[in-house]
Amino acid sequence: MRVLIVAALALMAGACAASGGAESGAALGPTPFPIERGAAPPPPNEAQGQTAPPEGASAGGIDFGRWRQADPASYAPAFQTQIRARYAGRSTAQIRADLEANGFACEDSSRLDCRIEIMERQCGFDWYVVLERNRPEPVAGFDQMCLGAR
């Protein structure tokens, strides 16, 4: 008797599992996401990216140091100190012109935001200088993010 009950329960569970998948998919209805094939923008072209800054002083005068081997925890504050000293007392237009001469791409909307963003091997490197309208000195930094294990 127990064997019959266990077999019947197993058959009912199997039947529910087999039909439950079809019913649950139908109950959800169509996908809530629009299907617009071919509407996604193409991936960025790596040839359009910025070039890596030199290790050491650039032609424009900013010293990027040995950034490939740098520890971001110590390199970033040193980079900010250099940038703040370099741009003390300068206008936003002067800062922008100098950063662009050193390889930064700048946007100036509600604040001046200048960056160098590159990929080298499997690592992304980002130098940034931001000057907000109500702050007397720029905020500068350096980030590094590597994909996968080394």
Q: Where are the domains of the chain?
A: 59-146
Q: Is the pTM of this model over 0.85?
A: no
Q: What distance in Å separates the CA atoms of residue 24 and residue 16, rounded to the nearest whole number?
A: 11
Please name the residues in contact with 77: beta carbons below 8 A apart, sequence gap of 6 or more.
none
**Is the pLDDT assigned to residue 88 strictly greater than 70?**
yes
In eight-state DSSP terms, residue 112 is E
**Is the pLDDT assigned to residue 2 strictly greater than 90?**
no
**103 close to 30: Cβ distance less than 8 angstroms:** no
H or E segment at 46? none
pLDDT digits (tens, 9 = 90+) for 6-50: 555 565 655 555 555 444 445 566 666 666 666 655 544 443 568
Quick one: pLDDT at residue 102? 95
